[in-house]
Structure 1
Amino acid sequence: MELGLHFADFTWTGGAARLGPDLARAAREAEAAGIARLTVMDHVWQIEHVGPAENEMLEGYTALGFLAAHTERVLLHTLVTGVVYREPGLLAKQVTTLDVLSGGRAGLGIGAAWFEGEAAGLGLPFPPTAERFERLEEALRICLQMWGPDEGPFEGAHYRLARTLNSPAALRSPHPYLLIGGSGERKTLRLVAQYADACNLFPGPETAHKLDVLRGHCEALGRDYDAIEKTTTLTVTPESTREQLLRQLTGLRELGFTTAYVFGAGIGDPRTTVDLLGSVVADVAGL
């Protein structure tokens, strides 16, 4: 099992003036501790279950570029980008740029978007659910086309690109890591089976059923179910202990997850989360 450090709460003790230095140091120490991935949310306001909207939030792709400059080995991606917040041609270019500048360490985490309040607040598009899923599939197709050799046009119901030129090409082969977030059985998990390298699901009583649904979509599409990475998220708090975390991670592995993205909630120094994760890296590697 692999561990990722997910930066979701930037309300740290040092305030805005210390965000850059503290984030850089946490990233370097996480990599040194053997944590394999660093991720950020792709939100412009804080989300409700982490804190009030007014709390500090960094723009995702700027933050990933900063993290790339302070690390050498970890995988970098959002968890996850709301498809309607960026035109997919530009999104594919952003991820490609991150991949090239990081030495082939970029991924794209993407989903259909859900936070209508922040979209309305900053004037971002937020069409109805059905349309967002249509746009999600088209965006996936555009990204994969731009990450491949075909630079021809793309004609979809929502997006029309005259030439999908993308130079320089991504370094990661065959393309940047592609993760889809969400657990919808009819649409999201079918998109995972058809297009993605990984899914991201919330853990719970429905996990086994959701994975069975994904397996069914894979069988219908002729996709190898085992080739798809099953990832999830886990929250730690100031009260979390090494033993508790290890039990939780063991339980997640038993559910079928192969990667856990862990974030610290209500923790004033991100290095506290790094230290906790670092203490279990060797244990979970054998799970």
Structure 2
Amino acid sequence: MLLRIFTEPQQGASYDTLLRVAQATEECGFDAFFRSDHYLKMGDVSGLPGPSDAWITLAGLARETRRIRLGTLVTAATFRSPGPLAIAVANVDQMSGGRVELGLGTGWFEEEHTAYGIPFPSLRERFDRLEEQLQIVTGLWEKPIGKAFSFDGEYYQVADSPALPKPAQQPRPPVIIGGVGAKRTPRLAARYADEYNVPFNGLPETEAAYERVRAACEQGGRACQSMTFSAAQVVCCGRDEAEIARRAAAIGRKVDELRLNGLAGTPAEVVEKIGRFREIGAERMYLQVLDLDDLDHLELIASEVLPQM
């Protein structure tokens, strides 16, 4: 089981804050640093100093880290056209020496779209656009150098693209698709994804979602073993009840609720629950860290939880 740190910068984080967390992630021995791709805060927080662009910040972190994987969980297909997205991610992959992963989804938070003038079509159209983006982005990356790429879809048309630049990873960076949709999500994951992620769901819901993707892989003639399964859970770990309660209060949550809906408790409790996700097939766990000033939290998890993985 690989442990990855997952942050939500739209809740209030400067680039310098993200840099400190990413470097601590690397120093502590975690596998990866991921961030959400959102443009508006959620809930009762100030959101100061304001949103940051996911791929611009990851480009900076690519030059300030050496080992950890870097990526989004997940980029909204509504935010960027597929051609510029393919260029940006390939650039960051080159800048990192081949450590980038692209999580791509439909987009869901309507308020951030209206706040920044981004069109927000129906769910059906967002899924249609996502599928076309997956075809274009992966097609641009995988097209051999010297060959042109073209695509004629309902929403996007690409004509005689040189399909450059190429990412450092060949044939392309890993693609992550997540969510618990029962129909289109499993099919898209089986066709395009290297990793399937279930965020913030309980064990029964997560296991059922994994089974749907496994079934879609089999129906599409793909070996299930070629898919990596992962989950994301908020983490709140403490050496004793007082420390657990302090960390829960700092993110505006209740300990009992976090124990039910996340990875909360002592290191032994966190290890035990991660183990239950491993039993249903999870190979990677994204630990959502909401208090980005509490680097001692990362150090505790690294010293007491990570060695047991």
Deviation at 1:250, TM superposition (A): 1.3
Q: Which residue of 2 aligns with 1:158?
A: 155
Tell me if structure 2 keeps the 8 A contact 1:47–1:53: no
Question: Aligned residue for 2:213?
Answer: 214
Query: After the TM superposition, which residues 120-131 of structure 1 pair with which residues of structure 2 at under 5 Å, given as runs?
Result: 120-131=114-125
**Cα deviations by residue, 1:80-130 (Å, 9 ceiling, x for unpaired):** 011011001111111100101110111110111100011011110111010
Alignment of 1:75-86 (within 5 A): 75-86=69-80
Distance 1:20 1:215, change over 3 A: closer
1:189 is the counterpart of 2:189:
no
State the number of aligned residues.
276
For the residue of structure 2 that corresponds to 1:232, the secondary structure is: strand
Match of 1:262 among 287, 301, 309: 287
Alignment correspondent of 1:231: 230
Note if 1:278 corresponds to 2:278: no
The residue number in structure 1 matching 2:53 is: 59
Unaligned runs of 5+ in 1: none
- In structure 2, the CA distance between the partners of 1:63 and 1:277, relative to structure 1 (3 Å rule), is farther
Please say if 1:200 is aligned against 2:197: yes
Higher RCO (C-alpha 8 Å, min separation 6): 1
Distance 1:53 1:21 in 2: 18
Paired AA for residue 112 in structure 1: T
2:11–2:45 CA contact under 8 A, matched in 1: no
After superposition, the Cα gap between the structure-2 partners of 1:269 and 1:246, relative to the gap in structure 1 and judged at 3 Å, is same
Whole-Å separation in 1 of the counterparts to 2:223 and 2:174: 17
For residues 208 and 292 of structure 2, the distance between their equivalents in structure 1, rounded to whole angstroms, comes to: 37
SS in 2 for 1:163: strand
Matched with 1:28 is: 23
Closer, same or farther: CA 47–227 of 1 in aligned 2, 3 Å: farther
- Taking structure 2 as the reference length, the TM-score comes to 0.84
Q: Which residue of 2 aligns with 1:104?
A: 98
Gaps of 5+ in 2: 237-246, 249-264
Q: Aligned match of 1:42 in 34, 37, 43?
A: 37
Letter in 2 for 1:139: Q
Question: Partner residue of 2:137?
Answer: 143
Partner of 1:252: 277
CA distance in 1, matches of 2:28, 2:100: 20
Equivalent-residue separation in structure 1 for 2:37 and 2:111 (angstroms): 14
Query: Secondary structure of the equivalent of 1:32?
Result: helix
What does residue 114 of structure 1 align with?
108
Contact preservation (8 Å) 1:111, 1:136: yes
* 1:165 CA drift (Å): 2.4
Matched to 2:20, the amino acid is: R
Q: Which residue of 2 aligns with 1:4?
A: 4
Superposed CA offset, 1:149-199 (max 9, x none): 253211101000113323331111221110012121210111000111011
Structure 1 residues 270 and 125 mapped into 2: Cα distance closer, same or farther (>3 Å)?
A: farther
Output the amino acid matched with 2:155: H
- When the two chains are superposed, the root-mean-square deviation of aligned CA atoms in Å is 1.9
Q: In structure 1, the residue corresponding to 2:149 is in which secondary structure?
A: coil
**1:167 corresponding residue in structure 2:** 164
Calculate the TM-score normalised by the size of structure 1.
0.90
Q: Tell me the equivalent position of 2:241.
A: none
Contact preservation (8 Å) 1:154, 1:164:
no
Aligned to 2:244: none
**Structure 1: how far apart are the matches of 2:4 and 2:223?**
24
